[in-house]
């Protein structure tokens, strides 16, 4: 929108003069100067009041001369009744306006065309404010969010309103994902993708992990209360690409990688998806989101994950031709734990660990298995390690993976678990229903993925879309 600079300047001058007179009066009364922070807060409040009045006036004046009659959605006709006042909760606070109201149809439903024109729902939060409330809700606990919002907006919003708008954004993300799942099961759509020209991406990564969320025990009607809370897995999927990290920007871990003759890589264009559901249902989301990125058609598709069986089963089922890599740091940690269990502190432990770690780094998994087998007679952890390395041997050819320039660590999805689950769903005292946890997490995942605006656009279409 183009703003009239002259009008804005004149309004600014008037506001400045008003504050100047106020300060001068206080000085003349011997009250001294007013701190700039206080002036800033008072100006913000004045601008909020101006916005409050301006928005209400704008909406009221946008009402054209009402027609006597108009069509109803049911096929009948509506008659003009009168100008009716309505209230909305906007970014400036509670705003009132008047608009034409129609009723009299046999379906007994009324209509205010101005509300439909601007997507307004009387008595409810506007789309502009909803975005801000949801942003607070995905960042702070619901009991703390109103305090932060009051400091920024200068008016009070309830905890339940923040929760409702945050979960509403998550529900919109659920709708988008459901649409992707439906499209991914459409044979015509899948065939059409293969006839489209390439999208330019030749290498794509996928990574899956899970983190525990505490679900509040809420018994159904007629059931006895549960004594203990239920911990559920929030499964997290991340699609991403990579790029080389310039030497000056490398972290300590990346510098260590470079020293070991591996190009330091970092993730870019991250897209997070999450849900609390069974593995089979999560597989549908894995396939659908991958289809939206043409993951199955990209020349090099690489999956990184830890040793969880359910993860590799899903990857193998949906993307059988993908390159599978067990996260290097998980594999290395297995050796460190085994060394601590099998050897006392000293040179024997150090020498054994250095030897098997180097063998693993060089992709010599058979040597690692043999070293673990040598300890299996007296160490239970060694027997488990033999099974672990044998099962994932082909996913641990790190020498080949490094030679191909692949990332070998799953820190990207682990970071996603921390940002989505640990930093929001595991705040002190947090307890969730399944739907509340899922919708809050999905909204936060959308923000972290850079797709927030698509949810805001969809939210702006409400309530007409419902």
For residue 99, with 0-12 CB atoms within 10 Å meaning exposed, 13-18 middle and 19 or more buried, which class applies?
buried
Full-model pTM: 0.90
**Beta carbons of 401 and 300 less than 8 angstroms apart:** no
> pLDDT per residue over 16-53, tens digit each?
999 998 888 888 877 777 889 999 999 999 999 999 99
Residue scoring higher pLDDT (1 or 151): 151
3-state secondary structure of 233: strand
416 and 385 both lie in a single domain: no
pLDDT confidence bin for 465, thresholds 50/70/90: very low
pLDDT confidence bin for 226, thresholds 50/70/90: low
> pLDDT per residue over 311-326, tens digit each?
999 999 999 999 999 9
387 and 426 both lie in a single domain: no
For residue 66, pLDDT over 80 is answered with yes
133 inside domain: no
How far apart are alpha carbons 319 and 312 in whole angstroms?
A: 10
Residue scoring higher pLDDT (353 or 30): 353
Structural domains in the chain (count): 4
299 and 383 both lie in a single domain: no
Paired tokens of 90 = 């906007």
Instruction: Give the per-residue pLDDT at 446.
Output: 98
Instruction: Give the per-residue pLDDT at 311.
Output: 97
173 inside domain: no
Instruction: Give the per-residue pLDDT at 433.
Output: 94
Q: Which helix (H) or strand (E) holds 82?
A: strand 77-90
pLDDT confidence bin for 434, thresholds 50/70/90: very high
How far apart are alpha carbons 201 and 209 in whole angstroms?
A: 24
223 inside domain: yes
> pLDDT per residue over 110-122, tens digit each?
999 999 999 999 9
For residue 245, pLDDT over 90 is answered with no
**Structural domain span for residue 266:** 183-327+409-456
172 inside domain: no
Question: Of 354, 377, 398, which closes a domain?
Answer: 398
373 and 439 both lie in a single domain: no
Longest dimension (CA), the chain: 94
Phi, psi values for residue 148, rounded to 5°: -65, -40
416 inside domain: yes
pLDDT confidence bin for 466, thresholds 50/70/90: very low
Percent of the chain whose predicted confidence (pLDDT) is above 70: 95
306 and 244 both lie in a single domain: yes
445 and 310 both lie in a single domain: yes
Q: Tell me the C-alpha to C-alpha distance, in Å, between residue 200 and each of 197, 383, 404, 454.
A: 9, 46, 19, 23
What is the average per-residue pLDDT within 86-111? 95
76 and 114 both lie in a single domain: yes
Instruction: Give the per-residue pLDDT at 2.
Output: 72
Per DSSP, the residues of 323-348 read EEEE-HHHHHHHHHHHHHHHS-TTHH
Q: Lowest-pLDDT range, 276-280, 426-430, 462-466?
A: 462-466
Q: Lowest-pLDDT range, 73-77, 132-136, 214-218?
A: 214-218
357 and 317 both lie in a single domain: no
Instruction: Give the per-residue pLDDT at 121.
Output: 92
Question: Of 124, 147, 165, which closes a domain?
Answer: 124
Instruction: Give the per-residue pLDDT at 24.
Output: 85
What is the average per-residue pLDDT within 148-175? 97
Residue scoring higher pLDDT (430 or 406): 406
80 and 200 both lie in a single domain: no
96 and 80 both lie in a single domain: yes
What is the average per-residue pLDDT within 366-374? 97
> pLDDT per residue over 289-306, tens digit each?
999 999 999 999 999 999
150-182 residues labelled b (16+ CB within 10 A) or e (exposed): eeebeeebeeebbbbbbbbbbbbbbebbeebbe
214 and 311 both lie in a single domain: yes
Instruction: Give the per-residue pLDDT at 251.
Output: 81
45 inside domain: no
pLDDT confidence bin for 101, thresholds 50/70/90: very high
Mean pLDDT rounded to a whole number for the chain: 91
Residue whose pair of structure tokens reads 């739907």 in the numeric block: 435
445 inside domain: yes
Q: Lowest-pLDDT range, 116-120, 142-146, 151-155, 248-252?
A: 248-252
371 and 316 both lie in a single domain: no
């Amino acid at each position: 929108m183009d703003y009239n600079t002259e009008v804005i300047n004149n309004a600014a001058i008037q506001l400045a003069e008003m504050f100047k007179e106020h300060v001068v009066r206080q000085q003349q009364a011997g009250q001294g100067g007013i701190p700039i922070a206080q002036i800033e807060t008072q100006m913000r409040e004045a601008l909020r009041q101006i916005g409050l009045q301006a928005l209400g006036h704008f909406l009221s004046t946008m009402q054209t001369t009402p027609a006597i009659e108009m069509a109803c959605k049911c096929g009948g006709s509506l008659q003009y009744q009168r100008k009716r006042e309505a209230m909305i909760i906007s970014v400036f606070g509670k705003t009132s306006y008047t608009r034409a109201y129609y009723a009299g149809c046999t379906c007994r439903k009324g209509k205010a065309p101005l509300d439909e024109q601007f997507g307004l729902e009387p008595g409810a939060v506007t789309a502009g404010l909803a975005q801000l409330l949801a942003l607070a809700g995905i960042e702070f606990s619901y009991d703390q969010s109103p305090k932060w919002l009051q400091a920024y907006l200068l008016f009070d919003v309830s905890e339940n309103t923040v929760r409702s708008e945050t979960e509403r954004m998550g529900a919109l993300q659920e709708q988008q994902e459901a649409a992707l799942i439906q499209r991914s099961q459409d044979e015509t759509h899948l065939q059409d993708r293969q006839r489209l020209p390439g999208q330019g991406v030749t290498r794509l990564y996928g990574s899956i992990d899970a983190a525990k969320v505490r679900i509040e025990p809420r018994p159904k009607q007629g059931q006895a209360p549960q004594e203990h809370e239920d911990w559920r897995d929030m499964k997290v999927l991340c699609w991403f690409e990579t790029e080389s990290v310039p030497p000056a920007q490398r972290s300590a871990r990346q510098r260590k990688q470079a020293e070991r003759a591996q190009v330091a890589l970092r993730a870019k264009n991250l897209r997070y998806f999450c849900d609390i559901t069974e593995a089979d249902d999560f597989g549908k989301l894995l396939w659908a989101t991958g289809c939206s990125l043409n993951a199955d058609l990209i020349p090099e598709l690489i999956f990184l994950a830890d040793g969880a069986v359910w993860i590799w089963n899903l990857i193998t089922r949906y993307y059988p031709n993908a390159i599978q890599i067990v996260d290097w740091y998980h594999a290395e940690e297995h050796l460190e734990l085994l060394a601590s269990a099998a050897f006392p502190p000293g040179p024997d432990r150090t020498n054994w660990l250095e030897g098997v770690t180097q063998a693993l780094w060089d992709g010599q998994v058979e040597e690692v298995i043999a070293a673990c087998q040598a300890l299996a007679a007296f160490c239970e952890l060694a027997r488990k390690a033999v099974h672990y390395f044998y099962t994932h041997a082909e996913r641990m050819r790190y020498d080949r993976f490094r030679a191909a320039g692949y990332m070998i660590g799953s820190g990207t999805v682990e970071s996603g678990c921390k940002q989505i689950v640990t930093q929001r769903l595991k705040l002190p005292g947090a307890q969730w229903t399944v739907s509340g946890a899922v919708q809050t997490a999905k909204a936060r995942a959308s923000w972290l993925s850079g797709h927030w605006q698509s949810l805001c656009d969809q939210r702006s279409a409400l309530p007409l879309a419902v």
